[in-house]
Structure 1
Amino acid sequence: MEKQDKPDDNPSHSAHAIEANVFEINEKALLRKLDRRLLPPVTVLYLLSFLDRTNVGNARLDGMTTDIKMSGDQYLTGLTLFFIGYALFEVPSNLVLKRTTPRIWLPTLTLVWAIVATLQGVVQSYPGYLASRFFLGVAEAGLFPGVVFYLSMWYKRNEQHYRVALFFSAAALAGAFGGILAWGIGHMKDVGGYKGWRWIFILEGLATVVTSATAYLFVYNYPSTAEFLTEAEREFIKFRLKNDSDATRDENFSWSAVWEAFSDPKVWLYGLGFHTLTLPLYTLALFLPTIIAELGYSDAQAQLLTIPPYVVATVLTITVAVLSERTRLRAPFIVGSAVIACIGYIMLLSQHRAGVSYAGTIFATAGIYPAVAIMVSWPANNVSGQTKRAVANALQISIGMLGAVLGTQLYRTETSPRFFLGHGFALGYMTACIFVTMWLWWVLKWENAAKARVREAQGLGALEGDVGGAAEGEFLGDKDPRWVFQT
């Protein structure tokens, strides 16, 4: 078992030795090595988490509500309880991560939710359904903010968004896989005396159990103890991060840092921005099979027709991430993606012809997922130090999930087949996302300008990129005039 890392616990190397190592390392090759080792395990875990939380929509289409004898509104209550549990345990989970290690905490979370997800397949009553959804939310709460914080300890600030986007693209892939799996597993009706919808939960949950066991071997901690790195590579990672972020600083947990996160208005704006996205994100993820079925397609056809919107969303999420990284811009790409989603919802609201409405689901999905990927990586880029960032990442998602809580109550049976209530709220939220993003963009640019004036007066360098020596001396986190916010 690895010891808990201290991000920069080997100060004995001289600056000359570190610089010598810099010239011996191919930076692009090292980044590819990090991507191969770090991203696949956490991406698979997130794919499974999204699959295990949204497959309830596929199970509903396959007869779950009828067999458990619950109404459409009772079904929605279970969805709501999931997000309540999720929102409540985001911050506590990331605090545990900061005080333990990724290798211990992330696979353990996965194992716990995998067991709960599997047990959904043997639920016999409505109270059992409610309990399973709430505790699934509690168990899954820590993975997303935990991985975003984890990646911020390995990559430079401008490199993080692309990696977070690759990680988050698993959510879109989960939607595509979910449709295929639900269509196939649905044919297992009465195998072992279980209906097809029960096998959806059982088989997908057991796959997560097996994956969680292997994750203890493939999830690493931080650069200073990761066994796949050479000593020269460890030193080079520390060197390249030193003047770019706080990742190499030896920071102990403190409650004052927790308070800094809660008292920073920008953290609440990041949360509000994510809040405007979670209602559309999760209403589509949970209700897309039902929305498509109400267009006149059979249940089996609807399961398969959920695949193309998610494939398009996956491609656009990665494409937009590349463009955002190259241009070093965040806000314009969130706004542009939100506009695409708005077009989709306008199509859904204005037409009920199957082809037009189905195209609307593709536009909506293709706009939401790239915007979410950028929004959740934004505080990881901009918040410093480590404890404050861990809390900010979790707080952002907790605030965001309140949007999902509301969204679960909007697509009611009595509003079908047009779902004006749900689509209307989603359009309003995507419009609000545009305004919140532009507000946050202005705040960050204003603070950057104020810091630039201080740096000019004091003769300081900016703490971004490869600015030698900028990180030396007392560092004040993201309040430091040398810290430049990414906009």
Structure 2
Amino acid sequence: MGNQGPFDMVIQEEEITRYQRAVSRLIGKLDRRLIPFLALLEIARFGFQVAIGHALLTTFKSDLNLTIEENNWTTSAFFIAYLIFAIPSSLILRLLGTTRYLSLSLISWGAITIGMAFVTNARQVIILRFFLGMVIAGYFPGIITYFSLWYPKREQIMRIAIFCTATFASGALVGILAYASSKMNGIANLKSWQWLFLLPGLPVIPIGIMTYLALGSIPETVQWLDNSEKQFLTNLLRQDSGMANSERASDSLLSWRQVWYVFVDWRMYLYATIIIGDLGGIKCLMTSLPSIMKGLHYSIEEAHLMTIIPYLISCFTILLGGYSSSRRNEHAYHHAFFLCLGILGCILMITLEERGKLVMYVSVCIACCGTFSALSILWSWLTNNVGGNTKRTVAVGMMSGIGQIGAIIQPQVFGGEVKPVSRRDHTIASGFLVGALIMTLILRYCLIMENRRRQYLSDDDYNREAAIEEPCDWHPDNRYVL
């Protein structure tokens, strides 16, 4: 290297530039093929979850003669099933492969969502909500881990941010659908709440069929990449993951050893406590947002429409946070910043409740921007730090399932009545976020200490840890991103 002349250095710089351009072209091709379709899937999935909050503003409860307790359990039943079946669904996902599992999940939940439009009593609602949680439990973990099969770690951050933008953009879309459904009351002898379930449910079944036909499983199996691009992408992903992904690349290979690793890795439980706080705060805001708008003395139609703006503004902050995190390859402080923003919004809602509609509405927007934006950064932080395809899939499933604990508690705390959400409720939501903030800083410190420990391993300790079969992210050469 010391004897290289200026000409040699120019040649090296040109080779690096060509390599970077080749990577950019390939990533751009992946984006154009995968991102729009995956965003469409997420909009279809998330819309139904938000729809139940809008249904509370209609005659849904009175038509079915739901008591407050029954109504609360219609919400909790979904998340209880999600919690129970999150890990089993992740295992089934690995056995079937991502494409087949997503297709079956979409078709099943489309049928169940349509069935929700024709329920006649509380028992039917609770049963269908439970089944919906069961069939959808592995969907989100499948999508998140799907990104890791196609993108290098740093590229995943922005793509997950875009995906989460689709998540909350669907919240705005459902606000529009809810407004439209309120105008469709009586059409085809159906009530507005029935249309509210039919409108997001009907497109899902054909989308599920399209998923099976159009979505590729892994780079080696698709037709829209030529052989040189497939090899280049495979080498790029292998180089990016290092020893963290030492098993054969496969979309349907299940390693029981890696399943076991998830449950004995103490870092997973730190991530779990963080995601309970993140999702707890998110569910509090999402489910109660229509009721908050109604509590600001908007009409039912206006309340549906007024939920749109917080979701749209949040989409912008999610992308901004994902871009910054990707550029700096940093997660913990970005996550902590958005949690602080969410906490600030909750504090403003608590202290400025009597200051009028505008002040309260701005406070709600601040809370949504911070809380929603934190989640996408947390998911990319998790997938960047968990090696092994099976371990990553099961870990995301475990986190997604455990995160529903807050959602299970939320309706029992907030209640099912359409009423202004109280200071006590905002305090509970902020409590979820404060807990997540504290655990984020603890996890960051623990990862720093583990990286430092691996850096100064003795030769004997290094050889012992490197000899572990399927080491995943435990390999001593691996370093956790912060």
Distance 1:410 1:133 in 2: 19
Confirm whether residue 108 of structure 1 aligns to residue 104 of structure 2.
Answer: yes
**CA drift at 1:61:** 0.8
Distance 2:71 2:320 in 1: 36
**CA drift at 1:170:** 1.4
Q: CA RMSD in A?
A: 2.3
Residue of structure 2 equivalent to 1:8: none
**CA drift at 1:277:** 0.9
The equivalent position to 1:143 in structure 2, one of 139, 143, 150, is: 139
Confirm whether residue 484 of structure 1 aligns to residue 482 of structure 2.
Answer: no
The equivalent position to 1:250 in structure 2, one of 221, 240, 248, is: 248
**CA drift at 1:243:** 2.1
Whether contact under 8 Å (1:91, 1:398) holds in the other structure is: yes
State the one-letter code of the partner of 2:64.
Answer: I
State the one-letter code of the partner of 1:293.
Answer: K
State the one-letter code of the partner of 2:329.
Answer: R
Residue of structure 1 equivalent to 2:4: none
Residue of structure 2 equivalent to 1:436: 439
Structure 1 segment 34-49 matched on structure 2, within 5 A: 34-49=30-45
Distance 1:327 1:24 in 2: 18
Whether contact under 8 Å (1:241, 1:248) holds in the other structure is: no
Residue of structure 1 equivalent to 2:184: 188
**CA drift at 1:42:** 1.9
Residue of structure 1 equivalent to 2:9: none
**CA drift at 1:422:** 2.0
1:192 to 1:29, Cα distance in 2 relative to 1, 3 A:
same
Instruction: After superposition, give the CA deviation of every residue in 1:48-93 in whole Å (9 maximum; x if it has no partner).
Output: 1110122011122122111111123321111000000111111111
Confirm whether residue 208 of structure 1 aligns to residue 204 of structure 2.
Answer: yes
Distance 1:253 1:102 in 2: 12
**CA drift at 1:305:** 0.4
Whether contact under 8 Å (2:291, 2:420) holds in the other structure is: no
Residue of structure 1 equivalent to 2:430: 427
**CA drift at 1:416:** 3.9
Whether contact under 8 Å (1:270, 1:378) holds in the other structure is: no
Structure 1 segment 279-290 matched on structure 2, within 5 A: 279-290=280-291
The equivalent position to 1:453 in structure 2, one of 441, 445, 456, is: 456
State the one-letter code of the partner of 1:108.
Answer: L
**CA drift at 1:249:** 3.6
Structure 1 segment 151-190 matched on structure 2, within 5 A: 151-190=147-186
Distance 2:352 2:468 in 1: 61
Distance 1:435 1:24 in 2: 38
Instruction: After superposition, give the CA deviation of every residue in 1:314-359 in whole Å (9 maximum; x if it has no partner).
Output: 0100110010011010000111001111111111111222222211
Instruction: After superposition, give the CA deviation of every residue in 1:145-186 in whole Å (9 maximum; x if it has no partner).
Output: 111111111111121121111111112101110111110121
Residue of structure 2 equivalent to 1:362: 365
Whether contact under 8 Å (2:294, 2:418) holds in the other structure is: no
Whether contact under 8 Å (1:338, 1:434) holds in the other structure is: yes
Gap regions ≥5 residues in structure 1: 1-18, 461-470
State the one-letter code of the partner of 1:289.
Answer: P
Whether contact under 8 Å (1:415, 1:421) holds in the other structure is: no
State the one-letter code of the partner of 1:303.
Answer: H
State the one-letter code of the partner of 1:220.
Answer: G
> Aligned residues: percent identity?
29
Residue of structure 1 equivalent to 2:302: 301
1:206 to 1:354, Cα distance in 2 relative to 1, 3 A:
same
Residue of structure 1 equivalent to 2:92: 96
Residue of structure 2 equivalent to 1:313: 314
State the one-letter code of the partner of 2:200.
Answer: E
1:191 to 1:389, Cα distance in 2 relative to 1, 3 A:
same
Whether contact under 8 Å (2:184, 2:195) holds in the other structure is: yes
TM-score (norm 1): 0.89
TM-score (norm 2): 0.90
Q: Which runs of 4+ in 1 moved over 3 A?
A: 22-25, 246-249, 413-416, 471-475
Whether contact under 8 Å (1:47, 1:173) holds in the other structure is: yes
Instruction: After superposition, give the CA deviation of every residue in 1:207-247 in whole Å (9 maximum; x if it has no partner).
Output: 11222121222211001111111100111011111122155
1:415 to 1:181, Cα distance in 2 relative to 1, 3 A:
closer
Distance 2:276 2:203 in 1: 31
Distance 2:41 2:136 in 1: 10
1:277 to 1:373, Cα distance in 2 relative to 1, 3 A:
same
Bigger share in helix: 2
State the one-letter code of the partner of 2:373.
Answer: P
1:310 to 1:242, Cα distance in 2 relative to 1, 3 A:
same
Instruction: After superposition, give the CA deviation of every residue in 1:17-38 in whole Å (9 maximum; x if it has no partner).
Output: xx9xx96972101101111112
Whether contact under 8 Å (1:410, 1:421) holds in the other structure is: no
SS at match of 1:224: helix
Distance 1:418 1:203 in 2: 28
**CA drift at 1:473:** 12
Residue of structure 2 equivalent to 1:15: none
State the one-letter code of the partner of 2:24.
Answer: K
Confirm whether residue 259 of structure 1 aligns to residue 260 of structure 2.
Answer: yes
Residue of structure 2 equivalent to 1:84: 80
State the one-letter code of the partner of 2:45.
Answer: S
Distance 1:388 1:279 in 2: 24
Residue of structure 1 equivalent to 2:194: 198
The equivalent position to 2:382 in structure 1, one of 379, 382, 385, is: 379
Whether contact under 8 Å (2:267, 2:443) holds in the other structure is: yes
State the one-letter code of the partner of 2:90.
Answer: N
Gap regions ≥5 residues in structure 2: 1-14
State the one-letter code of the partner of 1:155.
Answer: Y
